[in-house]
């Protein structure tokens, strides 16, 4: 395809529309990742084909037996919506090379084999039905493609495979209406954007979808970073941390076959706080079972998260300031804050028995403190740097998971300085009116 530009030109071109394209993403905060493919039937994780050295001719048998139940994509998206997620990302083709759509360039797909259905179409329709933004995951690896491994040493293979990958993505971005995210993965074994031709491929793909966001896994920074299995903020950049529900595998594994360990609703809400508070999103993965149903252990916590977000979403969604540490103390309470710094949301994890909750370090007082879920006013006084909330119930007022959010509204930007106990850490700071006041 003739249509080539330099990296500099491409970045300038992408930058021009970035603010417009990324606006929804910066407010979304929470998305659902769905790893579904033939590996879901094998049940040993999405990398089993490689780790177990399964012959391609044997692995292929999974394709004929692949039988997603009717309506599974609707089930994923309904749950995502109920959980309070604003977008969903589906593995349209993982490294195993099985396309979940009616591909003309990859005959190894779900229309020619197994269910004879276009699962990507079903997913896209379900996202639209539930008002979710749509993300399509697209691997840059293909374990069954003869050229994929040869790319590093064989120029012909490199060119063929690069063209193949582009053709797959052209299908995904041409045949399903507006797509919001192209989520690349696995650029290995090619080590640079140059030998992937990412500049020009992405340039051409963007012309098919002018509003699309592209992640950083085609060996280029692109629109957002994707820390994996860890919530690490990227300074001054957009990012999304992907985490997987059972903490082990992205594809389905039977919970009883692993040390039972899945994130609880409480842990998920804390992860959302951590992402929102540091300027990122949480993309939480579920690995549906062979028949596409959601594993039971994910359903209850996700519904609980959704019920919590329905009452407390104001603290999580939307544009927020990247907060430093301010609040009531790491384990007791962590914060998110409005961009003007005049609204602070204190997410409380340890509720006091005494009827009094105290936050140190507040140099100015809010005009009002309310319980976000109900709007109920909370009595408080401001003494020195201490905010002392009084008359509280003995137990956390949050019935979902014990994370109550206190909304503090200030007339002026909040002035917070924790650590009157540590005046030496901030040279030049005046702590004379500090502790003990
Ligand atoms: C990795 C893995 C993969 C998983 C992904 C999720 O790169 O190869 O199996 O899909 O990360 O972020």
User: Quick one: which of 218, 195, 61 has its CA closest to 138?
Assistant: 218
The residue-averaged pLDDT of 380-388 equals 93
Ligand 1 atom 9: residue of nearest CA: 46
pLDDT band, residue 1 (cuts 50/70/90): very low
- For residue 419, the CA-to-ligand 1 centroid distance in Å is 40
For 218: left if phi > 0, alpha if psi spans -120 to 50, otherwise beta; the answer is alpha
Report pLDDT for 435: 44
Chain center to CA of 209 = 21
C-alpha 225 – ligand 1 centre gap (Å):
14
pLDDT tens digit sequence for 88-113: 999 999 999 999 999 999 999 999 99
Q: For residue 117, give both structure tokens.
A: 């259905």
Centre of ligand 1 to C-alpha 284, Å, is 13
What tokens does 25 get? 């993403």
249 Cα: distance to centroid of ligand 1 (angstroms): 9
Question: What is the side-by-side order of every strand in the sheet holding 87-93?
Answer: 213-214, 181-185, 133-139, 87-93, 30-34, 280-286, 239-244
**Ligand 1 pocket check: which of 39, 48, 185, 217 to mutate, most ligand atoms within 8 Å of Cβ?**
185
How many angstroms separate the alpha carbon of residue 18 from the centre of ligand 1? 26
> Separation of 91 CA from ligand 1 center, angstroms?
10
Give span(s): CATH 3.20.20.80, the chain. 7-315
Give distance in angstroms: CA of 183 to centre of ligand 1. 11
Q: Does the domain formed by 321-437 have CATH 2.60.40.1180?
A: yes
Q: What DSSP string runs through 296-364?
A: HHHHHHHHHHHHHHHHHGGGTSS--B---S-SS-TTTEEEEE-TTSSEEEEEESS--SSS-EEE--BSS
Q: Give 155 Cα–ligand 1 centroid separation in angstroms.
A: 26
Nearest CA to ligand 1 atom 4: 250
Atom index in ligand 1 nearest the CA of residue 141 equals 8
The pLDDT assigned to 404 comes to 98
Report which ligand 1 atom has the smallest distance to the Cα of 242. Answer: 12
DSSP summary character for residue 234: P
Provide the pLDDT for residue 3. 60
User: What pTM does this model have?
Assistant: 0.95
What does the pLDDT look like over 112-170, one tens digit per residue? Answer: 999 999 999 999 999 999 999 999 999 999 999 999 989 888 999 999 999 999 999 99
Do the beta carbons of residue 49 and residue 40 sit within 8 Å? no
Residue 417's pLDDT is 77
> Which of 423, 415, 413, 350 lies closest to 387 in space, CA to CA?
415
Nearest in space to 269 (alpha carbons), one of 33, 29, 25 = 29
Q: Which atom of ligand 1 is nearest to the CA of 91?
A: 10
Q: Which residues are near ligand 1 (CB < 6 Å)?
A: 35, 46-47, 185-186, 228, 242, 250
Instruction: Specify whether the backbone of 59 is left (phi greater than 0), alpha (psi in -120 to 50) or beta.
Output: alpha
Question: What are the start and end residues of each CATH 2.60.40.1180 domain in the chain?
Answer: 321-437
Ligand 1, residue 45: give the atom nearest the CA: 9
Atom in ligand 1 nearest the alpha carbon of residue 244: 6
What CATH superfamily is the domain 7-315?
Glycosidases (3.20.20.80)
The H or E element containing residue 58 is helix 56-59
Query: What does the pLDDT read at residue 332?
Result: 85
Cα separation, 240 vs 180, in Å, equals 14
Measured in Å, how far apart are the chain's first and last C-alpha atoms?
Answer: 71
């Amino acid at each position: 395809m003739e249509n080539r530009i330099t990296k500099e030109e491409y970045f300038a071109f992408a930058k021009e529309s970035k603010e417009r394209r990324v606006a929804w993403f910066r407010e979304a905060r929470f998305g659902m990742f769905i790893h579904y493919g033939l590996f879901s039937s094998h049940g040993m994780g999405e990398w089993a084909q490689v780790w177990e050295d399964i012959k391609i001719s044997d692995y292929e048998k999974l394709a004929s037996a692949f039988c997603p139940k009717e309506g599974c994509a609707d089930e994923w998206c309904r749950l995502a919506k109920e959980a309070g997620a604003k977008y969903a990302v589906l593995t349209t083709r993982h490294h195993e090379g099985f396309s979940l759509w009616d591909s003309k360039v990859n005959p190894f797909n779900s229309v020619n084999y197994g269910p004879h259905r276009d699962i990507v179409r079903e997913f896209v329709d379900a996202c639209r039905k539930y008002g979710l933004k749509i993300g399509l995951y697209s691997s840059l690896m293909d374990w069954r493609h003869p050229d994929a491994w040869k790319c590093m040493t064989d120029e012909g293979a490199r060119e063929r495979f690069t063209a193949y990958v582009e053709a797959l993505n052209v299908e995904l971005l041409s045949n399903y209406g507006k797509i919001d995210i192209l989520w690349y993965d696995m650029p290995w074994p090619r080590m640079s954007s140059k030998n992937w031709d990412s500049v020009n491929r992405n340039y051409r793909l963007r012309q098919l979808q002018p509003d699309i966001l592209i992640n950083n896994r085609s060996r280029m920074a692109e629109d957002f970073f994707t820390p994996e299995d860890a919530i690490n903020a990227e300074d001054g950049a957009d990012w999304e941390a992907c985490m997987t529900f059972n903490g082990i595998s992205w594809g389905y594994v039977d919970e009883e076959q692993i040390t039972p360990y899945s994130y609880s609703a409480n842990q998920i809400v804390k992860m959302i706080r951590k992402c929102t508070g540091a300027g990122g999103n949480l993309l939480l993965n579920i690995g549906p079972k062979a028949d596409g149903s959601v594993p039971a252990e994910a359903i209850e916590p996700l519904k609980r998260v959704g019920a919590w977000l329905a009452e407390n979403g104001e603290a999580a969604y939307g544009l927020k300031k990247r907060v430093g540490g301010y609040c009531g103390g790491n384990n007791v309470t962590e914060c998110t804050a409005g961009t003007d710094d005049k609204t602070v949301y204190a997410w409380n994890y340890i509720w006091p028995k005494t009827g009094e909750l105290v936050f140190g370090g507040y140099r100015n007082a809010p005009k009002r403190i309310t319980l976000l879920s109900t709007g109920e006013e909370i009595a408080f006084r401001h003494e020195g740097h201490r905010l002392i909330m009084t008359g509280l119930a003995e137990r956390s007022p949050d019935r979902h998971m014990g994370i109550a959010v206190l909304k503090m509204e200030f007339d002026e930007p909040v002035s917070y300085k924790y650590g009157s106990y540590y005046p030496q850490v901030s040279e030049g700071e005046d702590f004379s009116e500090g502790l003990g006041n």
